Structure 1
Amino acid sequence: MDASNPTAEQLQTRTANCPTHGDFESKAIPLPTFSNKPGKVIWSRCPACSRETAEREAAAERAEQEQARQQRIEDRMNRAAIPKRFRDRSFESYIADTDAQRHALGVAREFAENFPEHARRGSTRVFAGNVGTGKGHLAMSVAKHVMEQGHSVFFATAREIVLMLRARWDDRTAPGELEVLRMLTSVSLLVIDEIGVQFNTDAERDQLFGVIDGRYRDLMPTILTTNLNRKLLLGAIGERSYSRLREEGNWVPFDWEDFRGKKKESK
């Protein structure tokens, strides 16, 4: 056989050199042909370079996906009206040093992790206790977990909800009361913060009842936070709303010292 005229089998591999990784075995890759004539071939590049390129591209794709995921979460937080100060709250950053704090954390985690079941039942949780005890922290942690699972969330103080329902009174271009009520009663999870920090008029109680009753009738989960005890909460929201909360709700006490006050004292 003429060594100067190698066969196709002999052309399957050859030694090539990579400036970075040195010699490597390059393989012939036949190009498609539509005739009986031998087709052209291309030679494989350095496998180490190929792996590094693939790893860089995969890392870039993961970074792009993570950035897109973070943007989706940020967009959801904006739609949920979650204040920027609360957006870094998480279960992991919640300090639980006592049995009572661990109980509160456990209730919040269970609610978040089993949200589909609570959505089926229309469960309610009332986080009640002193100012600065972490009620908002755990409520936000639940909200973030629920959002990351693709559910809709809306956060507002009780006072803000009343103002939203009344906005059309002063601004004819604002959403009407019925439109706002439909949004508040249809969102997957509603967090009502600072129940009791309002004027506590009969009109306000009626408007809050419309929200609580609408969610109760449609089996929509709700989290409420309040600084009030049970008796004062009953007075703030009225007997009808209080009765709705009790049926599928759990009262979660936050009866320890003010976290924020302790932080200030330690400085």
Structure 2
Amino acid sequence: MTVPTILKSETAQCSEHGQYHKHLVESFIGDRIWQGCPRCQFDAVHSPDDAIYKPAAAVRDARDLNARLIASDIPLRFRKATLDNYQTITSPAQQAIALRQCRDYAQGFEANWNVGRSMMLLGGLGTGKTHLGCAIAQHAIREFRAVARYTSALSIIRDVKSTFAKDAELTETKIYEALSTPDLLIVDEVGVQNGSDFERQVLFETINSRYERLQPTIVISNLSILAMRKCLGDRVVDRLSDHDGPAVLFNWASARGEA
């Protein structure tokens, strides 16, 4: 589990346990959280008294959720993206369909995870694909305590290429293993790469290894389904479509720049 970044530390005094280091830590939603005496927190979550245990357990669970959300690598711009605040004003009827498909996938995540059902979000720039992809990831983390990770196709390719250096700290196997581990992987910006055989193979390895482990993947792309087949190959698209994995189409004008 990724530990939230410590932004500031101060020496503090606990009336019961004496001096301790108080930490100001990063919060996923943008504010900051002061963490109090760790021994007090430990004692409280092990208390037989519900009046003491329950609020302490709520604090513990909130910290765990915060750490899971930060570990998802959802970009700062999309940390507030939810299914409920997605705007359906550019093309209301079509957007409502896309939102419903994404909501159905998110609410049924446990069943989707059980069979390794993936998803594709396809369409033009500025149509809300990344918003909904990140919203699904957040829902899976918050409601199912899933481990979700956001990345981009270019980041995956760059990470694999970095293993070719003589002084590389990670191996190619380690990179693919890390990508195979999360319960849900969001791969954004598929199709903006150069389209080389090497890049196509890297993305195939990423998606196929997850497919074999029954781990769902959500692919986000500006390409059409036919262009996806040309870019990634039929094998990849077929794996993403297995078990009726939905392809959600975002065929409306960009909302960027609108009030």
On whether the aligned pair clears a TM of 0.5, the verdict is yes
- Closer, same or farther: CA 180–197 of 1 in aligned 2, 3 Å: same
In structure 1, which of residues 166, 172, 177 is the aligned counterpart of residue 167 of structure 2? 172
Unaligned stretches of 5+ in structure 1?
Answer: 1-57
Task: Measure, in 1, the Cα distance between the counterparts of 2:138 and 2:145.
Answer: 10
5 Å-filtered alignment, 1:223-238, equals 223-238=218-233
Q: Does the 8 Å contact 1:132/1:261 carry over to 2?
A: no
Cα offsets for 1:45-97 (capped at 9, x unmatched): xxxxxxxxxxxxx79x75x6665544433322332211111111111111124
Give aligned-pair identity as a percent.
29
Secondary structure, aligned partner of 1:233: helix
Mapped contact 2:147–2:184 kept (Cα < 8 A): yes
The counterpart of 1:161, out of the listed 132, 153, 156, is: 156
Partner SS for 1:259: coil
Which segments of 5 or more consecutive residues in structure 2 lack a partner in the other structure?
A: 1-50
**Greater Rg, structure 1 or structure 2?**
1
**Residues 98-130 of structure 1: CA deviation (Å, up to 9, x unaligned):** 121111111111111111100111111111111
Match of 2:26 in 1: none
CA contact (8 A) 2:119 2:241 kept: no
Partner residue in 1 for 2:216: 221
Query: What do the CA deviations read for 1:21-59 (whole angstroms, capped 9, x no partner)?
Result: xxxxxxxxxxxxxxxxxxxxxxxxxxxxxxxxxxxxx79
Distance 2:95 2:57 in 1: 36
Q: 1:102 aligns with which of 83, 96, 105?
A: 96
1:127 is paired with a residue whose SS is: strand
Measured on the aligned residues, the alpha-carbon RMSD in Å equals 2.2
The aligned counterpart of 2:85 is: 93
The match for 2:235 among 237, 240, 243 is: 240
Q: Which residue of 1 aligns with 2:106?
A: 112
- Indicate the residue corresponding to 1:126 in structure 2: 120
Mapped to 2, the partners of 1:108 and 1:246 lie a distance apart of: 15
In structure 1, the partner of 2:27 is none
SS at match of 1:209: helix
Instruction: Decide which of 136, 139, 158 is 1:142's aligned counterpart.
Output: 136
Shift of the alpha carbon at 1:147?
Answer: 1.0
Tell me the SS of whatever aligns to 1:74. helix
One-letter identity of the residue aligned with 1:82: I
SS across alignment from 2:96: helix
CA–CA distance in 2 between the matches of 1:258 and 1:174?
41
